[in-house]
Structure 1
Amino acid sequence: MKHGDWGLDVVTEVSGGVGYITLNRPKALNALSLGMVRSLTTILLAWKDDSSIHAVAIRGSNKEGPFGGFCAGGDIRFFHAAALAGDPALEDFFTEEYALNHLIHTYPKPYLAFMDGIVMGGGMGISQGASHRFVTLRTKMAMPETNIGLFPDVGGGYFLSRCPGSTGEWLALTGEVIGADAAIAVRLADYVLDAGRLQEAWDALAGVDWESAGSLDAWIATFSIAARADSMVARDQIDAYFSLADVQSIVGALEADRSEWAQHTAATLRKRSPLMLHVVLEQVRRARTMSLAEDLRMERDMVRHCFVTRHLDRAGARSETVEGIRALAVDKDHQPQWNPARIEDVTTAMVAPFFDSPWPTNAHPLRTLF
């Protein structure tokens, strides 16, 4: 086995025809930096054309060692600082991250994502396109972007809109954290692995005969455990409420339902950015009829508007996203000053321009994706 440099944020090893990737920034919960995005892209492109590499496996390390934490998302502190400084690296980050997401979804070789521990935001972007998505009973999965005045990007419109019923809208709007069983139920994971045998499973991949589908199936059978089928709490309510026409209708129906689940869900939505709730509902519903490349181009347009919302004359510290990150991760006062402050005060004129591209088609930064 060729061992990589464990001083790096992205460590690679090669054994038995498997290219192994370990995200190694545990103090930041493996949050993706621009350097990590570039490293992953370079590695995957090289292995894509290397006939000696038959499959790719990716995991995240935690402070105690390998596994235990996959990836908590993009580096939102960097987003905050770059937005305030007008740093063009912010634009590069999203363009290159979304191109990486597309590369993973379209990768021609088996790509196995070990989604142990926290899997959120950008961590979903580098795992949802995997051919094999493994979770454990320690998995904490979410797309929590409305909590910071953003939207579920990294292809979130594409993969959330393809969850059964209205579960995608529920996950996108609330940012609810789900475990392994619910992840299987909403089709955001394929198998549950035994968390106590992850290292053994990881090492055993080097013994898989990649020319034989049966060999990988046998590996999965050896290390997987059953998911509980009845894992989705309030599934009927989710489908009933989150299929309604607009955010006001969803919240109104939840608030009228006196059940504990409905009241909790309504209270959660009331804490999120009212503007971005409306944008996100539109995003998920548009994405349902889009290809992945179309969705990523739309999300690239949207993220530009999040940091530079020209139609609302807002940018920098006044942008919804910068304010949300400030409240959650910088000042940590958890008191974001959303604008508008109420769901009922958001207008169509505020939402629609998020879906207008700042670029002509032939100059779009993701124009080459298909």
Structure 2
Amino acid sequence: MKHTITYTCPEVQTEVRGQLGCITLNRPRALNALSLPMIRALAAALLAWRDDPAVAAVAIRGMGKEGAFGAFCAGGDIRFFHQAVLRGDAELEDFFTEEYALNHLIHHYPKPYIAFMDGVVMGGGMGLSQGGALADPAGVCEGAARASPSARVPGARLRIVTPRTKMAMPETNIGLFPDVGGGWFLARCPGHGGEWLALTSEVIGAGDALALQLADACFDAARISEAWDTLAGLTRFDATSLQVWQAAYGAAAPAAVLPLDTITRCFSQPDVLRIVQALEKEPGEWAAATVQALRTHSPLMLQVTLEQIRRGAGMSLADELRMERDMVRHCFNTRHLDRFMTATDTMEGIRALVIDKDRMPKWSPARLEDVRPEMVAGFFISPWPAHAHPLKGLQ
């Protein structure tokens, strides 16, 4: 039985080609930054196709300024966050609740899901693409067996990068934290690389994305449109069929350049201040630049972010997303520190980096040395009882 997509918006294009559900993010001037209507359209399409036996797999890409590809998704619409807080718009709450529910749906999607991460892949774009890796292979494949025989084999999902990929979790730049499941998937990167990526907000290319296990394959950017078209022509989407298709378009990734040994040594420290102190003992320009980056971000939110990832390492995805939902409420309404609206580090970061662009945020506290444990702990106390949590339904 075919299920109709019940919610659409012009910035999310959907079509079924053969047995493939195709999604194109179509907001190129904003690098496909996510709005609430886009999140709702994505969820509606995925839910309809999940229950449609005529759809065997899903692929997602972004529209670039010169046509399809060249950009995937730059994250959430940060200007909307700022405006919504100032006008007391309840849609800000809806945005995060529905975005995190969408992230969970993607991670546990019972059919093959192929993300074409060409160009910019940041923040919310990572939330749309990291579900291309199985969050729980046994559980996902059980659901896949019921929904689609072609999805029974683990590995029938792909996160594709190209030499043009620019990947980041840049939230600490604006006094936020790496959400959209970041505390779950970054905690599972090798060698504390996820903590490095989260705390520094640095941008990485395809080689380092593969090294950090945030991507599965590198494709030739010049042939990526052809790869999209031939994917739609497949009659099977099991792991073997996808591997044959992948082999036809694979390309050598740029070399990984991250000093993973140094990252492991320094970012395994118990708190951000001691990470900085360890980096200060390391020789070379890379360590010095990393210290400088960490010293420019919100000291409070850096420590909150490290705590998030350390907690996320031992959590299910559903529990981690519920924790993030608690945290993001505190970011815009930091009641335990008696900070509201523009007085929060998150709103100050957005002001300095996105609105006024003076790049001179006034963080509180201003130094890592002044962050106290109770300041951090308050971000992990849920504002809701369990039975009333907005994401209580995630399994």
What TM-score bracket applies, with the shorter chain setting the length?
A: over 0.9
Q: What one-letter code is carried by the residue in structure 2 that aligns with 1:319?
A: T
Scaled by the length of structure 2, what TM-score is found?
0.90
Aligned to 1:3: none
Q: Is the aligned partner of 1:188 residue 2:190?
A: no
Aligned to 1:202: 228
Deviation above 6 Å: which 4+ runs of structure 1?
none
Contact 1:185/1:232 (8 A) holds in 2: no
Q: Is the aligned partner of 1:340 residue 2:365?
A: yes
Change (3 A) 1:211 1:164: closer
Matches within 5 A, 1:238-257: 238-257=263-282
Instruction: State how far apart, in whole Å, the 2-side matches of 1:214 and 1:162 are.
Output: 26
Give a deviation string over 1:218-273, Cα, whole Å, max 9, x none.
11000111335x61421111000000111110111112323111100000000111
Aligned to 2:239: 213
Instruction: State how far apart, in whole Å, the 1-side matches of 2:301 and 2:171 are.
Output: 9
Instruction: State how far apart, in whole Å, the 1-side matches of 2:236 and 2:110 are.
Output: 13
Q: What one-letter code is carried by the residue in structure 1 that aligns with 2:47?
A: L
Aligned-residue offset at 1:59: 0.4
Instruction: State how far apart, in whole Å, the 2-side matches of 1:61 and 1:202 are.
Output: 13
Q: Comparing 11-20 with 209-218, which one deviates more in the overlay?
A: 209-218
2:253 to 222, 227, 241: 227
Contact 1:255/1:266 (8 A) holds in 2: yes
Contact 2:74/2:123 (8 A) holds in 1: yes
Aligned to 2:175: 149
Aligned to 2:47: 45
Q: Is the aligned partner of 1:319 residue 2:344?
A: yes
Instruction: State how far apart, in whole Å, the 2-side matches of 1:331 and 1:139 are.
Output: 28
Q: Is the aligned partner of 1:264 residue 2:289?
A: yes
Aligned-residue offset at 1:323: 0.8
Instruction: State how far apart, in whole Å, the 2-side matches of 1:296 and 1:193 are.
Output: 31
Aligned to 2:146: none
For these two proteins, the number of residue pairs brought into alignment is 364
Aligned to 1:356: 381
Aligned to 1:236: 261
Q: Comparing 203-212 with 81-90, which one deviates more in the overlay?
A: 203-212
Aligned-residue offset at 1:209: 2.4
Instruction: State how far apart, in whole Å, the 1-side matches of 2:24 and 2:109 are.
Output: 18
Aligned-residue offset at 1:8: 1.2
Q: What one-letter code is carried by the residue in structure 1 that aligns with 2:174?
A: I
Percent of paired sites with the same residue:
65
Change (3 A) 1:307 1:336: same
Q: Is the aligned partner of 1:276 residue 2:278?
A: no
Extract unaligned runs of 5+ from structure 2: 1-7, 133-156
Extract unaligned runs of 5+ from structure 1: 1-5
Q: Secondary structure at the match of 1:22?
A: strand
Contact 2:175/2:346 (8 A) holds in 1: yes
Aligned to 2:319: 294
Instruction: State how far apart, in whole Å, the 2-side matches of 1:279 and 1:314 are.
Output: 16
Contact 1:209/1:216 (8 A) holds in 2: no
Give a deviation string over 1:189-240, Cα, whole Å, max 9, x none.
0000110001100000122122653222111000111335x61421111000
Instruction: State how far apart, in whole Å, the 2-side matches of 1:183 and 1:356 are.
Output: 33
Change (3 A) 1:306 1:22: same
Contact 2:9/2:41 (8 A) holds in 1: no
Give a deviation string over 1:307-331, Cα, whole Å, max 9, x none.
0000111111111111111111111
Instruction: State how far apart, in whole Å, the 2-side matches of 1:213 and 1:33 are.
Output: 33
Instruction: State how far apart, in whole Å, the 2-side matches of 1:91 and 1:213 are.
Output: 38
Matches within 5 A, 1:100-115: 100-115=102-117
Contact 1:18/1:56 (8 A) holds in 2: yes
